[in-house]
Amino acid sequence: MLSLVFPIFISPFFNNYQKEAINFKDLPIELWQIKQYENDLILINQVNVSNPTESFNKITSTSKELDTVKKEIKVYTEEDHINDKSEDIVGLYEKIKDYVLSLDENIKVKATKVYISFTINKKIIIDIAPLKSKLKIWLNAPAGSIKDERYIFRDVSNTGHWGNGDYEVSMSNDESFEYVMQYIKDLYNKLR
């Protein structure tokens, strides 16, 4: 299940104003250019940020429309997810984060409205939602691909859930840390 929390625009063409809009560091939008070729072959490419600029909020115009847009834009951070959690949950999150980031220097962390994603080459490895008493972790693996001997992973392929992937595991302590990290490492090796 794919959960989007920011706008993605897909079009065969974008004008210069649209391309410049993605350069604002706190304007969470993506542009994807689509082209159709012979034999119904389709190519989709993401339009990359060319020159990151200042904050969208520093635009000096004071129109009512712009003020309304500014109030609607929220760029989420890791702190938004962990600032009201217990020391134990934050410590467990940091331990998992350190492990995942140690797998590859190219792994990126991106906070969204409902979870924190860890990606490699724009492919999601895991999503983590820090809750009051536990972490929910979704592995971006298709149903049937994990052989869980301890039965701690839940198949959520036919269930509504926040994260990407078909497996969910909840952790409230580091009791199963090594076990879960091995599955994350295996998934990372498949995705890179």
List C-alpha distances in Å: 48 to 33, 45, 102, 185, 187.
10, 9, 26, 28, 26
Residues 6+ apart with CB under 8 A from 101: 107, 109, 118
Residues 6+ apart with CB under 8 A from 189: none
- Which secondary-structure segment (H or E) carries 180? helix 177-191
- Residue type (1 letter), 14: F
pLDDT category at 2 given cuts 50, 70, 90 is: very low
Domains with residue ranges and CATH for the chain: 8-72 (no CATH), 78-191 (3.90.1150)
DSSP 14-32: --HHHHHHTTBTT---EEE
Q: Does the model's pTM come out above 0.75?
A: no
Query: 19 vs 97, which has greater pLDDT?
Result: 97
* C-beta separation of 31 from 22 below 8 A: yes
What pLDDT is attached to residue 64? 75
What pLDDT is attached to residue 161? 83
pLDDT category at 3 given cuts 50, 70, 90 is: very low
| pLDDT single digits (tens) 57-116 | 565 456 677 677 666 777 888 999 999 999 999 999 999 999 999 999 999 999 998 999
Closest CA to 188 of 102, 114, 115: 102
| pLDDT single digits (tens) 163-185 | 888 999 999 999 999 999 999 99
